[in-house]
Amino acid sequence: MSQIDEYYEEHESPEFADDENVENELYEHHRVVADRGQSLLRIDKFLMSRIENASRNKIQQAAKAGNILVNGNPVKQNYRVKPLDVISVVMAHPPRETEVIPQHIPLTIVYEDEHILLINKEAGMVVHPGYNNFEGTMLNALVWYLQQKPGAKPGTMPLLVHRIDKDTSGIILVALTEEAQTRLAREFFNHTIQRTYQAIVWGTPKEDEGTITGHVGRNLSNRLIMDVFPDGSHGKHAVTHYRVLKSFGYVSLIECRLETGRTHQIRAHMKYLGHPLFNDERYGGNKILRGNTSGSYKHFVENCFSILPRQALHAKSLGFIHPDTGKEMFFDSELPADMQQALVKWDKLISARG
């Protein structure tokens, strides 16, 4: 089974159907060292012989986007490989061959041009079709939307460059051309994308600002959740910077800035810090973790859970370099109504208690 086949098989299983922040798994990273006796050969031909299923067009796109480095420097497709050259390549995975059914589902589109499109996704919407989720996803809605546009080409397919979890709301960026996807792939792979999230967590971290560093990987006994492995024995390197925006004693509103994009990174890191996300069932935040567990307070928390029936996480902002114009782009979004309503209730509770 090829690396790409393994990727799709894994991500179409139930436990991977709604993964959050898995952009590194959306890209292929190859590192090749030329042999000592390597004859001069165009790099596109060289890589086609070294990378399984790599088309010449895909390699040429990677070169055009600056995604092929030789000894640390970007090269064009006509570069001739020399002995002992160290070659690094970042390419986006090819689109799925599975047909995506167009469906008329409302989307909040915050920006669109011929190269990219940004959506403010509502909580509860799966990003892409997968196991038991072949309809009702963001991609189903996007395919319908794009096919309705004047002059739309048959088979138009939006291309993912990152994802957010089903029950996480917020901004998500989609490429509309393979060239845009390839250029954005380098930004996400190199962690130069600026991303901030806001979350409601149980309790208040000891420090108003801090950095959580620890490998994130599948729990060794339960693949439905991620664990933090600070010794690096499992998982992948992950870094989350956080700061407390407002403390309500029992819960806090925090901002998280990601350096890396691991599956469930914020959720796993905040649990590791001792402050799980509010109402995050998978990571234990759907129980009362601060305050007493009876009486009016219990009723209050349960009411908050009903207002905010998901993990309290929102992808608030996204900054990147436009793949065609090279201009800096930045998009911000308001907290969704469910998180705002929950925060208002906590604010009133603290104010009433003096």
Give the active site residue among 19, 44, 85, 165. Answer: 165
Furthest-apart CA pair in the chain: how many Å? 78
CA distance 66 to 221: 41
Q: Residue 219's CB: how many other CB atoms inside 10 A?
A: 13
SS3 content of the chain, % helix, strand, coil (to 5): 25, 30, 45
Residue 90's Cβ-count burial label (10 Å; 0-12, 13-18, 19+) is buried
CA distance 174 to 161: 6
* C-beta separation of 282 from 219 below 8 A: no
Phi, psi of 60 (to 5 degrees): -65, -40
Q: Is 165 a catalytic residue?
A: yes
* C-beta separation of 237 from 277 below 8 A: no
Residues that are catalytic = 165
